[in-house]
Amino acid sequence: ARRRGKEKALVAAGEAWLEAWKSAENKARAALARAQKLGPKDAWVNYAAGRLMQRWGDERAEEHLRLSLAQEAGLGAAQLALMEL
């Protein structure tokens, strides 16, 4: 059951990226909220949250990027994203 929840969280995070790419910010935010609800302790979900928030100019981006690193210290993508802030 835990794995299925993680998979759903990652799918929702992917949907958030897709909607953001299509410039559908409201749909992207809704998908991201689902991802965060399903996988609040998942490093990749928090990375996605941080990156999307960074894109939207949301000051909580850094918080989510740091959280993703705390959850998975070797997540180089999050390290790079933090250097861009």
Residues in the chain: 85
Q: What is the pLDDT of residues 11-63, one digit of tens each?
A: 999 999 999 999 999 999 999 999 999 999 999 999 999 999 999 999 999 99
Question: Are residues 45 and 51 in contact, defined by beta-carbon separation less than 8 angstroms?
Answer: no
DSSP structure string for 50-72: HHHHHHHT-TTHHHHHHHHHHH-
Q: How confident is the model at residue 1 (pLDDT cuts 50, 70, 90)?
A: low
pTM for this entry: 0.89
Work out the angle between the directed axes of helices 61-71 and 76-84 (0-180°, nearest 10): 160
Q: How confident is the model at residue 85 (pLDDT cuts 50, 70, 90)?
A: confident
- Token look-up 């989510």 returns 64
CA distances from 4 to 7, 8, 28, 42 (A): 5, 6, 21, 13
